[in-house]
Amino acid sequence: MTVEKTCIYNGTTYKVGETWVDPDDRCMSFVCTAYGIQSEPRVCPSDICPEGNTTWDDQDCCSTCGSSKMNKKKNLKLTH
């Protein structure tokens, strides 16, 4: 009888190959491997933005320069 390898993280059991994100640290992702839990930091673009021109992603992990699509449309200037 073989025992299937699992990983336990914060009380939740994961099978080998399963991935997840900790809701308290959404900038890290985790994967269950045959050797245990591996963590991988989320890779973000390295934008250097002027103050007040930063937009965060939906996970509050990575930021980019500029505003949302809605705000960009408002900032367009039309010339005739």
* DSSP characters over 20-59: EEETTEEEEEEEEETTEEEEEEPP-------TT-EEE-TT
pLDDT at 8: 96
Output the six-digit token pair for 54: 């930063």
Query: Vertex 21, ends 32 and 58: CA angle to 5°?
Result: 155
Determine contact, residues 15/4, Cβ cutoff 8 Å.
yes
pLDDT at 42: 80
pLDDT band at 65 (very low <50, low <70, confident <90, very high): confident
On whether the pTM is more than 0.75, the answer is no
Whether the per-residue pLDDT at 1 is higher than 60: the answer is yes
Whether the per-residue pLDDT at 15 is higher than 80: the answer is yes
Catalogue all structural domains in the chain, each as residue range(s) with its CATH number.
1-43 (2.10.70), 44-74 (no CATH)
What digits encode the pLDDT tens for the residues 16-59? Answer: 999 998 888 888 899 999 999 999 888 887 777 777 778 887 77
Beta bridge partners of 33: 36
Determine contact, residues 40/32, Cβ cutoff 8 Å.
no
